[in-house]
Amino acid sequence: MSGAGTRIGFFCDFDGTISENDMIAQIMRRFVPDEAAPLIERVNRRELSIRAGVEAMFALIPSSRFEEVRDFAVHTTRIRAGFDRFVDFAAARSWPITITSGGFDFFVEPAVAPWRDRLTVYCNTLDTTGPNLRVVWPHPCDDACSADCGLCKPTILRKYQGQFDDTIVIGDGVTDFEAARRADFVYARASLRKECEHHNLPHAPFETFDDIVSHLHQTRG
């Protein structure tokens, strides 16, 4: 499905994908474990949308603790092996990488700073001016999405899709599925991999970004 001149666009998740750990879950476990646990359960059971759940979780944390939250997140983020080589590989072919993260600028931006000139980043922000942290969603669902995503990955994919011959989604979780099923190919791990298998989406598993680069070498030259 591809030739030498194929223009590919990558749409890559952050938490659990570029970052080995899920930072929102780690922040909640560190700062408000007892209060956040039932909210996480309700999101996992799909009784609460991701947007509503994440808003309610951050609202548990006083704004006075924001710097502590930020420092904790920045220091616990671990970048998955091979990401630097994946960025080089894509840049050498002029295949753009767009990060679509349900996470927040205060930990996503510092983590990807070494490659920032070669990445487009979509993520959320926090308003720290009130008594408690308030989530700001700059990239909500468009009219074609009713999932109440918060940050809407399919909306972002649709916005760019016409610019590429092929779109490839890279991710690990349920929040990546709606974008994954609109993509031409998926690199999947963890629960996204199970969803791709279940729905017969064209995909390959990965554990490191080196796995993705070697698969791209084999299939795309």
25 binds Zn ion (CB under 5 A): no
Nearer to Zn ion, 22 or 178 (CB): 178
Nearer to Zn ion, 73 or 169 (CB): 169
Report the site for Zn ion in 138-167 (rule: CB under 5 A): 141, 145, 147, 149, 152
In whole angstroms, how close is the CB of 24 to Zn ion at the nearest point? 17
213 binds Zn ion (CB under 5 A): no
3-state secondary structure the chain: CCCCCCCEEEEECCECCCECCCHHHHHHHHHCHHHHHHHHHHHHCCCCCHHHHHHHHHCCCEHHHHHHHHHHHHHHCCECCCHHHHHHHHHHCCCCEEEEEEEEHHHHHHHHHHHHHHEEEEEEEEECCCCECEEECCCCCCCCCCCCCCCCHHHHHHHHHCCCCEEEEEECCHHHHHHHCCCCEEEECHHHHHHHHHCCCCEEECCCHHHHHHHHHHHHC
Structure tokens, 84: 């630097």
Nearer to Zn ion, 79 or 147 (CB): 147
99 binds Zn ion (CB under 5 A): no
From the list 69-77, 119-127, 134-142, 204-212, the region that binds Zn ion by CB under 5 A is 134-142
Nearer to Zn ion, 44 or 219 (CB): 44
179 binds Zn ion (CB under 5 A): no
In whole angstroms, how close is the CB of 142 to Zn ion at the nearest point? 7
204 binds Zn ion (CB under 5 A): no
In whole angstroms, how close is the CB of 152 to Zn ion at the nearest point? 3
Nearer to Zn ion, 70 or 182 (CB): 182
Task: Name the residues that contact Zn ion, by CB under 5 A.
Answer: 141, 145, 147, 149, 152
